[in-house]
Structure 1
Amino acid sequence: MSYVFALWRAETPPIITQAIQAGGFGPTLPLAAQGPTWAAFSPVEEILVLPGGRGVVFGRLFTRAARPERVRTAAGLGDTSDVLETLSRSYWGRYLAVLVDPAGGMVAARDPSGNLPAFRIRREPMDLLFSDVGQAAALGLVSPRIDWSYLARHIAFGGARSAATGLVGVEEILPGDALAAPPKGAMSTRPFWRPSQVIEAAPRLEAGDWAERLLAEIEGSVAALAAAEGPIIVELSGGLDSSIVALALRERVAAFAVNVTTIGPEGDERRYARQVARAAGLPLTELVLDAGDIDFSAPPLARLARPGRPTVLQSVDAAFQQQGRQHRASAFFNGAGGDSVFGYFISAAPVVDRFRAQGLSPGVMTTIMDVASLTGANAWTVARLALKIGLRRQDPPRSPDLEHLAPAWRQVASPHHPWQDGLAGLPPGKRRHVQAVLGVHAHMDGHDRSVAATVVSPHMAQPVLELALAIPTWLSVAGGRDRAIARRAFAALLPADVLNRRSKGRINSFVAAAYEANRDRIGPMLAEGLLARESLLDLDGVAATLRKPVEMTQARFMSILRLVDAELWARSWSR
């Protein structure tokens, strides 16, 4: 879905007046609600209007219950004194809530999942909120200019997220944040949900209880999200995370599993996908990808606020998009973020977490052995690394990748995300857990297939995310298995091969093949492109890397591919 919200402080801007008189910005963005100083444009089935003209909730809202139900009226929200508190504690979903102040200001709060995009810009005399910056530009609501300094940071830190975007003046309202736009003065943000608060308030439960609760939250969340959709494409890789989503959709009418595979054993997970599809009662379509189908000159189909679509996954997007259109799907459901949410810890940090919680107990030795089994290290090595982590006062800063940036652009500061606030008092494993979840946001949007249907990541749903964050890290490595509580939760449903699987599917060889096939085109494209025109690149360094053979252990070619992504994104705003 898409939406636009406009709030003005003087006379109604002409562009909004015209839209109101026309009944909206066309059939996909009709006028859904309005007040004296605001107007909301959205499909009517995707908006709740608060009583008394207090504002709107875009997207989909669900109750907190064993069997969540979609909220069809905002009457209950209008009765509360603190709508944001009520939203975060009594509801969940994929939404942006906009509360209008009678004095002419507003507060806009985005749900913690990040499943519904939210951007803002101040265009005097109005503030604009929207979900699709490309659509907003096409409507004449924004006049985007590329922020090249942002792009340098994006390249250096691998796309790590903050509120900043690659377009001047356009900022993202981050998940769990509330944007305050007063009648006068600058806009500001404050948190209404934070991972650190969830972790600090976590109850103490046994592993079996955690697994039981996780099963209930995943099944309830997936069922609620699916009930709000028409036909669904399930992106079934055959790995644990996508398998859990497929099994939570078991026997659902109008759900179709699709597996994309690459040539070569590391990317072929069809054996596992077939077993899961049978267990879930879902029809399965298998598609084989060809690295030669990737067009390294094609910009993303959607015009995005920042580089998002990996060019090398273009054929993956095309395959899912074709299936989505064939089945007239309204959504793609995937397992994105499962590794991060459910605790894929390849680290001794869980040992430190357990020591801090229980002291020098027998359980600490158990976790040392669990981590040793999981990583292949011996117990002494795990204990030594745990001691090193435990003695560290703060986590080391992330090192930027400056190899291909021109010297003038190498003084870049690491982007700050507000979820990082409040982590200092948490044990190191939980800090890493939050940082891993943060990284998921970069993979939730920017997909070419989103032009065909909505992309939904159920593992990031607030009830699932909150429960997973509360689970102690040492339980997530119990028995020497990664994501141990998630495995235990679905043990009765998962095929044995998937439940006991220790390998992970990879597409490294596929990506390398795509790079090799296009190596001769990449050099001229970057040398003659927009990044080079702005002097962002060290072209000698780029050329040197392009001359080197592909080494899978170092994967320096991945840095070049990220430059390609940035270049094609910039070109999408220059066409």
Structure 2
Amino acid sequence: MAYRYIALLDTTAAPQAAHAVEATDRLNRLRMRQCLRTRHCTVHVSGQTPFIALHGQGLLIGHVFSRSGEPLTQESQFPRFQSSSQLCRYILENCWGAYLVVLPDPEHDGRITVLRDPEGGMPCIHHLENGSGFIASDIELPLCAGRYQKRIDWDSILHRLIHPDIKTARTGLAGIQELLPGTRLVVHGTRLTLHTAWSPWDFLTGKLRHASIEDAAEAVRTAIDMVVNAWARTDRSILLELSGGLDSSVVGAALLGSDARVFCCTLTTPVPGADERHYANQIAALLDAPIDVETMGLESTLHDSAPAAGLPTPRVGMLQHITDTIMENARQRHGAASFFSGGGGDTVFCYLTSAAPAADAFQQMGLAGAFHTLRDLAGLHQCTIWKAGRLTLRKLMRPPGSPCNAMIEFISPGLANCLLEHHPWCDMPDTASPGDRERVFALAATHVYRDSAPRGRQAHLRLPLLSQPVMEATLRVPSWMWIAGARNRAVARQAFADRLPPEILARRSKGSFIGFVGALYARHRSRLRDYLLDGCLHSQGLLDAPAVQRFIDSDLPPRDRTFGRLLDLYAVENWIRHQT
């Protein structure tokens, strides 16, 4: 696995409790090396996981860089601070990367601070009860250490079914919480407190905003180049996943001139609609890199998609499983150390399909200043400026909505009112504009991406566009600049206009896998029906079984994409069955 660690905590009992000694012995047999030992905390890491001892204050596990992209590997590169909170603040303001900070407090016996990086590159789950438990990269380590036994959290599973697009601290396993990206956890005796250490709202204030699209494009380009090249120097050999769209192409363009060995891979399907070879080949040619074209087959069955070990929440669907298998095989074939993906690009490049950018412009610049944005909005969506104006006015008058829409299809009717659980980034200020709300809600939803791509458990999955420096640079760009000239993601296009092939630079859309997913459903729907109606979700009373039966047994109406919902239910069912 890419990163593996476990911290065993006992903030109330005497040191060297019997269960801690036994757990350490088991971890030693797994070749996990001990890199920190204090009175109340012992940390073990795998041989491939880097770490830095911080002046006797604790550990930084993972990869961390300065804001110029310099790798930080020695404790001498970090100042000394009087408190854990000061050190955490310094790291957030002056560093970035995929890391976890573990800081036992020498001044307060039994107090431990843990900080997870804002991009979520370092996985982190925890189970802490009465001051005792663990913090770990994956659930397999505490299982092997004898510190946890798996149990399903059915309330969390119901929440996952109804609100699949948002990640909260609860996982699908009872007693297991996830430390969300950018969050600081303080354990003091038996008390646990959580703090939002990094929030996208901190970069959406007027004084931090870019004043011109030229300044914005330069800042975005600088951030992406720095992040991509820092990871490329670290990993040295890369499998670049090319979708043919703008986002992965930008990542490829940022690799131009890198010393890393780059291999490319793109996917096609036997069903029309997702063949992006023409565009992917152009980026591979730009990099002078070999490219594999892999066809996703329809022969995959429902029962061959065992979820990756260590995932505490069901996220990997059938499409993701097929993609994951192909990409991992390609990585092994080329001997690449990591995957590079453009995942999250739509979000950070502010690909909003509503009138929110014009509403933001009106709020912050008045009617005169918003006129140009109204014209851009009308051109982007091929409508009249009057219609764009009406939609903008409606957006301004409408009260803030929910961060995500509830999905109650095929859920037992008595359970459909499951309330959305809290995500700290959804705590918006009263002055938040419509576009900024939509941007931050979408950014919170990207936290599920890594769970949906478990190949990142075998080798590093780099998502440069979701790195902290790129998030901060793009958040500082007002939403209306992103549709300048009636082009979506306009700032990113301008930032890489001199590197991207003209055809890719001018693209407004890309292929879709919806036809392939529909073909998968059509091939497997009879087995899908049996799998769901004979499964755990049904036995727990979570499914509306008659509705499932009726839909699968009937002919699929034209353009009806409800089959995707059933495949998502299958993913959850599949994960549950593999936990036992």
| CA distance 1:479–1:146, shift in 2 (3 Å) | same
Deviation at 1:398, TM superposition (A): 4.0
Q: Match of 1:324? A: 331
Equivalent residue runs for 1:147-162 within 5 Å:
147-162=153-168
Contact 1:93–1:461 at 8 Å: present in 2 too? yes
User: Are 1:88 and 2:95 an aligned pair?
Assistant: no
Measured in 1, the distance between the counterparts of 2:73 and 2:122 equals 18
Contact 1:477–1:483 at 8 Å: present in 2 too? yes
User: Are 1:510 and 2:513 an aligned pair?
Assistant: no
Contact 2:24–2:145 at 8 Å: present in 1 too? no
- Opposite residue 8 of structure 1, the aligned amino acid is D
Could you give the per-residue CA deviations for residues 471-521 of structure 1, whole angstroms, max 9, x where no partner exists? Answer: 000000111111110111111110011000112221000000001110010
Equivalent residue in structure 2 for 1:424, among 426, 430, 452? 430
Contact 1:25–1:139 at 8 Å: present in 2 too? no
Q: Secondary structure at the match of 2:488?
A: coil
Equivalent residue in structure 2 for 1:341, among 334, 348, 353? 348
Q: What is the percentage of aligned positions where both structures have the same residue?
A: 30
User: Are 1:41 and 2:56 an aligned pair?
Assistant: no
- Say which is worse superposed, 419-428 or 448-457, in terms of deviation: 448-457
TM value normalised by structure 1: 0.95
Q: Match of 1:186? A: 191
Measured in 1, the distance between the counterparts of 2:451 and 2:75 equals 28
Measured in 2, the distance between the counterparts of 1:478 and 1:447 equals 33
Contact 2:305–2:321 at 8 Å: present in 1 too? no
Deviation at 1:21, TM superposition (A): 5.5
Equivalent residue in structure 2 for 1:262, among 260, 269, 275? 269
User: Are 1:198 and 2:199 an aligned pair?
Assistant: no
Contact 1:304–1:569 at 8 Å: present in 2 too? no
Measured in 2, the distance between the counterparts of 1:135 and 1:513 equals 38
Q: Secondary structure at the match of 1:98?
A: strand
Deviation at 1:78, TM superposition (A): 5.0
User: Are 1:356 and 2:363 an aligned pair?
Assistant: yes
- Say which is worse superposed, 334-343 or 308-317, in terms of deviation: 308-317
User: Are 1:100 and 2:107 an aligned pair?
Assistant: no
TM value normalised by structure 2: 0.94
- Say which is worse superposed, 206-215 or 286-295, in terms of deviation: 286-295
Contact 1:508–1:552 at 8 Å: present in 2 too? no
Q: Match of 1:164? A: 170
Deviation at 1:226, TM superposition (A): 1.9
Equivalent residue in structure 2 for 1:482, among 488, 506, 513? 488
User: Are 1:51 and 2:58 an aligned pair?
Assistant: no
Contact 1:163–1:173 at 8 Å: present in 2 too? yes
Q: Secondary structure at the match of 2:294?
A: strand
Contact 1:32–1:43 at 8 Å: present in 2 too? no
- How large is the RMSD of aligned CA atoms in angstroms? 1.8
- Opposite residue 245 of structure 1, the aligned amino acid is V
Could you give the per-residue CA deviations for residues 92-149 of structure 1, whole angstroms, max 9, x where no partner exists? Answer: 1111111112211111111110121111111555231111123432442321211111
- Say which is worse superposed, 300-309 or 460-469, in terms of deviation: 300-309
Q: Match of 1:366? A: 372
User: Are 1:493 and 2:499 an aligned pair?
Assistant: yes
Could you give the per-residue CA deviations for residues 345-375 of structure 1, whole angstroms, max 9, x where no partner exists? Answer: 11111111111111122x4121112112222
Q: Match of 1:573? A: 579
Could you give the per-residue CA deviations for residues 158-179 of structure 1, whole angstroms, max 9, x where no partner exists? Answer: 2421111111111111111101
- Say which is worse superposed, 79-88 or 394-403, in terms of deviation: 394-403
Q: Match of 1:73? A: 74
Q: Match of 2:10? A: 8
Contact 2:302–2:528 at 8 Å: present in 1 too? no
Deviation at 1:16, TM superposition (A): 3.2
Deviation at 1:15, TM superposition (A): 4.3
Contact 1:50–1:78 at 8 Å: present in 2 too? no
Deviation at 1:296, TM superposition (A): 4.3
Measured in 1, the distance between the counterparts of 2:398 and 2:271 equals 42
Q: Secondary structure at the match of 2:552?
A: helix
Contact 2:134–2:142 at 8 Å: present in 1 too? no
Measured in 1, the distance between the counterparts of 2:403 and 2:457 equals 37
Contact 1:346–1:371 at 8 Å: present in 2 too? no
Equivalent residue runs for 1:549-568 within 5 Å:
549-551=555-557, 553-568=559-574
- Opposite residue 79 of structure 1, the aligned amino acid is R
Q: How many residues align?
A: 568
| CA distance 1:374–1:296, shift in 2 (3 Å) | farther
User: Are 1:307 and 2:298 an aligned pair?
Assistant: no
Contact 1:277–1:283 at 8 Å: present in 2 too? yes
| CA distance 1:398–1:438, shift in 2 (3 Å) | closer
Contact 1:222–1:248 at 8 Å: present in 2 too? yes
| CA distance 1:21–1:134, shift in 2 (3 Å) | closer
Measured in 2, the distance between the counterparts of 1:521 and 1:21 equals 45
| CA distance 1:553–1:423, shift in 2 (3 Å) | farther
Could you give the per-residue CA deviations for residues 200-239 of structure 1, whole angstroms, max 9, x where no partner exists? Answer: 2523321011111111110100111222214211111111
Unaligned residue ranges in structure 2 (runs of 5+): none
Measured in 2, the distance between the counterparts of 1:269 and 1:285 equals 12
| CA distance 1:501–1:296, shift in 2 (3 Å) | farther
Could you give the per-residue CA deviations for residues 287-306 of structure 1, whole angstroms, max 9, x where no partner exists? Answer: 11112234445321324111
Measured in 1, the distance between the counterparts of 2:164 and 2:24 equals 41
Contact 2:126–2:133 at 8 Å: present in 1 too? yes
Measured in 1, the distance between the counterparts of 2:44 and 2:402 equals 45
Measured in 1, the distance between the counterparts of 2:131 and 2:508 equals 57
